[in-house]
Amino acid sequence: MHIHADLKLRAVVHAAHLPWVSSPAAGVSRRMLERDGAECARATSIVRYAAGSRFARHVHERGEEIYVLEGVFEDEHGSYAAGTYLHNPPGSSHAPSSAAGCTIWVKLRHMLADDLQRSVVSTHEARWRPGLVPGLSVMPLHEFAAEQTALVRWEPGTRFRGHRHWGGEEVYVLEGVFEDEHGSYPTGTWLRSPHLSVHQPFSSLGCTLLVKTGHLTID
């Protein structure tokens, strides 16, 4: 299966416009933002767990990132409320579930082989740092080599200078409306800008983004 699989191409997907597709686990469904492969695939998805659903134990050969959008996600290591970020490194395994139900953003099979530190960040407790321009705040979630994952908050009217993305950039709009010279991206939009792409982002109304950079040159 190939959905926005060419990493050299820009992609914009409004997740709410996508159908929910059943997974192999009863009660677990997905909106596929990008995918390159069958069930074992490099993929970015919005995944919904119905109350009481669970997935069989499995190994993440090239890692997994999760951001809990709604509800409470669980596995044998703990429970993770909305606003929690998880970095499960290559070779890690777990048996995920949700007693009450949840919706999560998930990115699979994209990590460097030696990015081996598991991490869990509650974004309700972590600190925001000043960004590079007034009105911009950043909350780092994970960093390894050239790759970075962070929350980025834009106050209304914030503008950033035009810049080039070495290693590309992926954005998922958590709240508000993100913008650049190519368009406007409301809550629930996934946006991929490829390696060496250029844009000049801004937000008239303000927004909060889940942002990943520096990973789109991996073979």
Q: What is the pLDDT of residues 69-122, one digit of tens each?
A: 999 999 999 999 999 999 999 999 999 999 999 999 999 988 888 999 999 999
Residue 72, phi then psi, degrees to nearest 5: -130, 120
- In-domain check, residue 7: no
Residue 72 and residue 154 share a domain: no
Interval 178-192 mean pLDDT: 97
Looking at residue 97, its pLDDT comes to: 97
What is the per-residue pLDDT for 42? 84
**Which DSSP string do the residues of 49-91 spell out, in sequence order?**
EPTTEE---EEETT-EEEEEEEEEEEETTEEEETTEEEEE-TT
Tokens of 165: 């993305």
Bridge partner list, 53:
98
Looking at the 3D structure of the chain, how many domains does it have?
A: 2
Average pLDDT on 129-152 reads 96
For residue range 26-35, list pLDDT tens digits in order: 999 999 999 9
Decide: 160 and 211 in contact? Cβ < 8 Å. no
Do 40 and 109 belong together in one domain? yes
Determine the pLDDT at residue 109.
82
Do 134 and 105 fall within a single domain? no
Q: Which residue type sits at 118?
A: R
**Residue 159 sits in the same domain as residue 192:** yes
- For residue 107, the one-letter residue type is K
What's the CATH number where 76 sits? 2.60.120.10
Q: Looking at the predicted structure, is the pLDDT value of residue 218 above 60?
A: no
With tokens 């509650």, the residue in question is: 122
Asked which of 58-62, 99-103, 126-130 is least confident by mean pLDDT, the reply is: 58-62
Give the pLDDT of residue 206: 98
Are 172 and 207 members of one domain? yes
pTM, two decimals, is 0.95
pLDDT given for residue 60 in this prediction:
85
- Of 98, 122, 146, which marks where a domain is finished? 122
Percentage, residues of the chain above pLDDT 70:
99
User: 206 is in which domain, residue-wise?
Assistant: 129-213
Mean pLDDT, the chain, integer: 94
Q: Which burial class, exposed, middle or buried, applies to 117 when counting CB atoms under 10 A from its CB (0-12, 13-18, 19+)?
A: exposed
| Final residue in a domain of this structure, among 83, 103, 122 | 122
pLDDT tens digits along 1-46: 899 999 999 999 999 999 999 999 999 999 999 998 777 778 899 9
Q: Does 134 lie in the same domain as 115?
A: no
Q: What is the pLDDT of residue 37?
A: 74
- Tell me the mean pLDDT in the region 166-176: 97
